[in-house]
Amino acid sequence: MRGLMRGYIRVADAVNYRLGRIVMYGIFVLMGVLLWSSISKTFFLPSLWTLEMAQFIMVGYYILGGPYSLQLGSNVRMDLLYGEWSLRRKAWVDLFTVLLLIFYLGVLLYGAISSTAYSLGYWKDAPVSYLFGVLTGTEEVGRLEQSSSAWRPYMWPIKVVMIVGFFLMIVQCLSEFCKDVLRLKGEVI
Amino acid sequence: QNKITWRLQTYAGAALAEHVLDPAIKMFNQIAGDRMQIETYYADQIVPTGELFQAMQRGTIDAVQSDDDSMASPTEVTVFGGYFPFGSRYSLDVPVLFNQYGLNEIWAEEYAKVGVKHISAGAWDPCHFATKDPINSLEDMKGKRIFTFPTAGRFLSQFGVVPVNLPWEDIEVAVQTGELDGIAWSGITEDYTVGWADVTNYFLTNNISGAWIGHFFANMERWNELPEDLKMLFEVCCQQSHYYRQHWYWGGEARLRVHGEKLKLTTIPDAEWATVESAAREFWEEIAAESDVKRRVVDIFKQYNTDMEKAGRPYRYT
Amino acid sequence: MSYELIATLMFSTMMLMLLTGQRVFGAIGFVAVVAALLLWGDRGGFDIGFSAAMKLMKWYPLLTLPMFIFMGYVLSESRIADDLYKMFHVWMGGLRGGLAIGTIGLMVLISAMNGLSVAGMAIGATIALPELLKRGYDKRMVTGVIQAGSSLGILVPPSVVLVLYAMIARQPVGQLWLAGVVPGLLMAAMFIAYIALRCRLNPALGPVLDPAERDLPRAEKLRLLRAGILPLVIFAVMMVPFINGWTSLVESSAIGAIAAFLAAVMKGRMTREVFENSVRNTLGITCMFMWIILAALAFGAVFDGLGAVKAIESLFTEKLGLSPWMILILMQLSFIVMGTFLDDTAMLVIVAPLYVPLVGALGFDLIWYGILYTITTQIAYMTPPFGYNLFLMRAMAPPEITLRDIYASITPFVLVMIAALTMVMVFPGIATWLPTYVYGN
Ligand code: NA
Ligand code: NA
């Protein structure tokens, strides 16, 4: 069991680490898009796509970067009590509260899945099985949702990015859960 | 017996909804009393406008006030909602098109397909530009970043307008932060009512459409659950809201053009503006070619406008 | 169950969750989605969390957030501020408490180059603090100086807090930023006056610098002043096109970030390590903010769905029957109280939307209120037990500074800030004069 947990932690952390290391350079992509926006406005016609594109990049940046930020410990905690606790007590409390965090992320993930299904033209109430159906080829893609801007990009790609991001957040939280279990069993992590 | 509660979200912000929505809902709530109450929410309040349709389909929101275009409804008729370029001359055109020329039936059918009850269509104001810098010619429109409806934006982009889509409530600030150069979303009444007249300086008297087409919708299941008399009451209140807007805008547009002090009026000469009108006819054909339903609707618009021209004054003066 | 009871339950559950030490966004998000599910069930209970993500995507001014964070990290990591510190060190060292006064000056300049207090804190704690301690300055006073000084980051433009406030109050960012200038400088002047007074009464708190350290040749001293040019250039490159309407808000923030980056490259300070730290920490801090706002937006939507705005309005105006000024003062007090145990960003996203409509309805100017709000946030940042600045100070301060020192150090500065808050309340012109002057008509 412990071996399994260690293996899971290694894989989950590695995947999220790699992804986060790539996504963090998104700041320069964002800068580039915004710079192009001001250049094109000053010297040519303003671009149709820059603001919306920048918004998509930002979503990718903070949602896909989320798991890596958990690894970095960037997310503040209220440490009035927590800060004074021993490692062991922290692990015990986190063990439970991280499940609540996972619940929140699960609801986000479900929301992202049903919104993605909608963006692929599915309007009934079994989005999860529909998306599986699309992947396995048993379900048809219907009317694709487009953003209501003049640029009219399809919405499904950014929503898929959000699915991936929320899923990987859960993966990372489970890894944190496993780490707490191992800590309680006396391992040093 | 349990009280029924509905959540209704409008695409309009609070300042505008005070006129175009609140009175009708207040009336409904007062009459329905303990049997049913409708809670109103404004632009982006519970769900962002882009998600509004989906939220109604799923029942997060029970009813919606919006045009088809800005809430991006997944139907064949979406492009005709909001402002279909040069589709109508006066706000009375809209109820006639829906009640006498058969648009009601098409809308009801298209929305039923996606699980939504189309309650009724109504007209709002004409669509004018309100901008920071004056527009005196088509050349002045080039490069302006304008908040407008998706379909209107698609049409206007051939004249160098850069359409920008942002949450309704953020428009005033976006003009001030430089994200926008102006707005082509409403008539002058709305510009004054919601504060856009405070951040822009000029109002172009040429309009790209004489009246906005918008509707009340409800989630189909919720609608079917209502007893007949409450359905009727809701329909009546929606009609009241449509009627109120007819005179509120009609009078307001004229009064503010003449007596308003915040916006200077500019005009593009008729001869030059005619190129925009003829571009609109081509745009209609482009749209009609997209599907059978769209062809049917465009034909109705054409038929209606031909009839009005033949009828002459006061329907048409040209 | 009554709406008031539900609202109270939501707030107290959130507080309880926060006390467990779980990540702030998790605590808030969990309460939000559970409340949504209990209240709305399958009629939208599942959607509120995700709707917030779509709403957040459309909040375009938040694109400035990573830009300002990146700017701040480039400035602090590349130690561009070293030269600035040296400038103040030499020029101000001759006064009693001069190094502390110079540190406030340093903080003002850093505030003009970034939108958060993080950079000021980092620079203050790593560059100024060790130097001040070495020169025998009182450790409690200088710890307070750095915390108070760095909090100017959100009042002197550019300011991320004011951008967030602008989103919520629907007020123009440009005017809000300009409104922060005079109060920011006023507050800095009041800090300086306080330091000068304390050191005059008790010279041991801030000894005069050894002449050997500051008696440079005149030409050398003048050359040091050049360090002060850089912040002004970065500030101007970002603000001038923005105020003139040549670039939009988000474009300006990108230009500011690029300017800071290029400045570091040209000064030869953009090493591999600096680059790595800036890029990585920008992701971390941006994620922290965005995830908190994401969760807080969901919480706010549920709250809004309960009709909380109307409830607050009726509580203040009808049930308590208070005058507009009493309401305003109570609001500021409640922010300070909440700020002692609630994360500042979450507070802004959850509570400000409830208050702002009422403030507007009472006839107060929302630009002016934005400045009151920001000063209150600065106070909340610094007051224990929960405060982002405290959190950073604990992480960055040298070991001889204990938690007790940090807590004790802030008292006089918080009093100065309350005095400044009162002045801006009594004389609204302090905030509104500059934006009216610049934007005029
Ligand atoms: Na600043
Ligand atoms: Na605090």
Tally of CB atoms within 10 A around B185: 25
Torsion angle of the four alpha carbons C151, C157, C160, C161, in this order, in degrees rounded to the nearest 10: 60
Round to whole Å and give the CA distance between C377 and C358: 19
pLDDT at B45: 84
Instruction: Give the pLDDT confidence of B195-209 residue by residue, as tens digits.
Output: 899 899 999 999 999
Dihedral over Cα of C63, C64, C69, C70: its sign? positive
| Residue A64 vs residue C331, higher pLDDT | A64
Query: What is the distance between the alpha carbons of residues A90 and A79, in angstroms, rounded to a whole number?
Result: 11
State the Cα–Cα distance between residues C287 and C69, nearest whole angstrom: 11
Min distance B104 CA to chain A CA atoms (Å): 23
- Torsion, CA C403, CA C404, CA C405, CA C411, rounded to 10: 120
Report the Cα C437 to chain-centroid distance in Å: 25
pLDDT of A180: 93
Inter-chain touch A118–B50, beta carbons under 8 Å: no
Whether chain A has a CB inside 8 Å of the CB on B46: the answer is: no
- Under the banding of pLDDT at 50, 70 and 90, the label for residue B1 is low
For residue B122, list its beta bridge partners: B214
DSSP-based three-state secondary structure for B183: strand
A 10 A CB-CB count for A39 gives 14
Tell me how far apart the alpha carbons of residues B240 and B243 are, in angstroms, rounded to a whole number: 5
Alpha-carbon span C356 to C166, nearest angstrom: 11
Alpha-carbon gap, residue B304 to B63, rounded angstroms = 30
Cβ-contact C378, C180 below 8 angstroms: no
Name chain A contacts of B54, Cβ cutoff 8 Å: 115, 118
Q: Per residue in C281-293, pLDDT tens?
A: 999 989 998 999 9
Is the Cβ pair A148, B150 closer than 8 Å? yes
Residue B183: how many CA atoms within 13 Å on its side-chain side? 31
What is the whole-number distance in angstroms between the Cα of residue C367 and the centre of ligand 1? 17
Residue of C nearest to B172 (CA): C170
Does residue C441 have a pLDDT over 60?
no
Backbone angles phi, psi at C432, to 5 degrees: -90, -15
For A:106-125, CB contacts with C below 8 A are 107-108, 110-112, 114-115
Region of B123 on the Ramachandran plot (φ > 0 left; ψ -120 to 50 alpha; else beta)? beta
Instruction: Using alpha carbons, select from A100, A99, A138, A133 the residue that is nearest to residue A116.
Output: A133
Band of residue C358 on the pLDDT scale cut at 50, 70, 90: confident
| 3-state SS, residue C269 | coil
Q: Cα–Cα distance between C279 and C262 in angstroms, integer?
A: 14
Which residues on adjacent β-strands are paired with residue B163? Answer: B146
Residues paired with C49 in a beta bridge: none
Over its C-alpha atoms, chain C yields an Rg (Å, rounded) of: 22
In the DSSP assignment, the letter for residue B79 is: G
Contact at 8 Å (CB) between C113 and C71?
yes
Least-confidence region, from A76-85, A121-130, A179-188, B239-248: A76-85
| Alpha-carbon gap, residue C185 to A151, rounded angstroms | 44
Confidence label for C226 from pLDDT (cuts 50, 70 and 90):
confident
- Put simply, the answer to whether A101 touches C26 (Cβ < 8 Å) is yes
In a domain, A65, yes or no: yes
**Residues of the domain holding A174:** 2-75+84-184
Per-residue CA distances from C440 to B106, B191, C175, C436, C437 (Å): 52, 21, 10, 5, 5
Residues B115-158: tens digit of each pLDDT = 899 999 999 999 999 999 999 999 999 989 999 998 999 999 99
Q: What is the pLDDT of residues B21-33, one digit of tens each?
A: 999 999 999 999 9
Inside any domain, residue A16: yes
Pairing mode of beta strands B264-266, B202-204: parallel
Mean pLDDT for the stretch of residues C406-428:
91
Binned at pLDDT 50, 70 and 90, residue A182 comes out as very high
Map residue C27 onto helix, strand or coil: helix
Give the span between the Cα atoms of C98 and B203, in whole angstroms.
57
CA dist B198 to C172, C241, C243, C339, C439, Å?
A: 12, 22, 18, 35, 13
**The pLDDT value given to residue C268:** 86
Residues of chain B found within 8 Å of residue A47, distances taken between Cβ atoms = 162
List strand residue ranges (DSSP E) for B11-137, in order: 36-41, 63-66, 116-123, 128-131
Rg (CA), chain B: 19
The stretch B223-234 carries a mean pLDDT of: 96
For the record, the structure tokens of C152 come out as: 């100017």
Distance C384 CA to ligand 2 centre (A): 5
Predicted confidence (pLDDT) at residue C11 exceeds the cutoff of 90: no
Which residue out of A55, A107, A146, A148 would a mutagenesis test of the B interface target, given it has the greatest number of B Cβ atoms within 10 Å? Answer: A148
* Tally: H helices and E strands in chain A: 8, 0
Test A146 with B72 for CB contact under 8 angstroms: yes
Query: How much is the average pLDDT of C91-104?
Result: 83
Of B205, B181, B203, B185, the residue nearest B194 (C-alpha): B185
Average pLDDT value over all residues in chain C: 86
d(CA C366, CA B173): 13
B51: closest chain A residue by CA: A115
Query: What 3-state DSSP class applies to B231?
Result: helix
pLDDT value at C148 more than 70: yes
The answer to whether residue A189 is domain-embedded is: no
CA distance A150 to chain C (A): 15
Question: Are the Cβ atoms of B46 and C42 closer than 8 angstroms?
Answer: no
d(CA B300, CA B284): 11
User: Smallest Cβ distance to B179: which of A51, A143, A149?
Assistant: A51
Structure tokens that stand for A88 in this block: 């062991």
Distance between CA A25 and CA C283 in Å, rounded? Answer: 9
Model confidence over A74-97: pLDDT tens digits? Answer: 887 877 788 788 889 999 999 999
Pairing type for strands B63-66 and B4-10 reads parallel
- Banded pLDDT at B187 (limits 50, 70, 90): very high
Backbone angles phi, psi at C335, to 5 degrees: -65, -45
Domain assignments of chain C as residue spans, ordered by start: 1-58+295-306, 59-270+307-440
Nearest to C159, CA basis, from C386, C378, C441, C359:
C378
Report residue A34's pLDDT band, with 50, 70 and 90 as the boundaries: very high
Q: Is the pLDDT of residue C68 over 80?
A: yes
DSSP letters of C206-250? SPPPPHHHH---HHHHHHHGGGGHHHHHHHHHHHHHHHTTSS-HH
Write down how long chain B is. Answer: 318
Specify if A54 maps to a domain: yes
Q: How confident is the model at residue C384 (pLDDT cuts 50, 70, 90)?
A: confident
Burial C366-376 (b: 16+ CB within 10 A, else e): bbbbbbbbbbb
As a whole number of angstroms, the distance between CA B68 and CA B152 comes to: 13
Minimum mean pLDDT among A77-81, C189-193, C403-407: which range? A77-81
> Which of C44, C249, C250 is nearest residue B60 as measured by Cβ atoms?
C44
CB atoms within 10 A of CB B316: 14
Tokens 């969990």 map to which residue?
C30
SS3 (DSSP) at B305: helix
**Both tokens of residue C32?**
């939000």
pLDDT value of residue A188: 82
Q: Which of B299-313, C82-96, C127-141, C383-397 has the lowest mean pLDDT?
A: C383-397
Tokens 């807590």 belong to C407
Question: Is A141 within the bounds of a domain?
Answer: yes
Distance of alpha carbon B198 from its chain centroid, rounded?
Answer: 22
Give the bridge partners for B147, in sequence order.
B164, B183
Beta carbons within 8 Å of A116's beta carbon, 6+ residues apart: A127, A131, A156, A159, A160, A162, A163
Sequential DSSP letters for B37-95: EEEEE-TTSSS-GGGHHHHHHHTSSSEEEE-TTTTT-SSTTGGGSB--TTS-SSTTHHH
- Average pLDDT score, chain A: 91
- pLDDT for residue B131: 97
What confidence category does residue C1 fall into, taking pLDDT thresholds of 50, 70 and 90?
Answer: low
Instruction: Report, as an integer, the average pLDDT of C20-31.
Output: 92
Identify the helix (H) or strand (E) that includes residue C134: helix C129-134
- Residue in C with minimal Cα distance to B54: C47
Q: Cα–Cα distance between A96 and C350 in angstroms, integer?
A: 26
What does each C-alpha distance from C36 to B46, B302, C7, C306 come to in angstroms? 11, 48, 12, 10
Question: For chain A, how many structural domains are there in total?
Answer: 1
Question: Do the domain assignments include residue A25?
Answer: yes
pLDDT band at residue C63 using 50, 70 and 90 as cut-offs: very high
| pTM for this predicted structure | 0.91
Dihedral of alpha carbons C37, C40, C42, C43, sign: negative
pLDDT (tens digit, 9 = 90+) per residue, C259-287?
999 989 988 888 999 999 999 999 998 99
Length, in residues, of chain C: 441
Q: Rounded mean pLDDT of chain B?
A: 93
Query: Which residues are bridge partners to C23 per DSSP?
Result: A77
Q: What percent of chain C has pLDDT over 70?
A: 99
pLDDT in the model for residue C89: 77
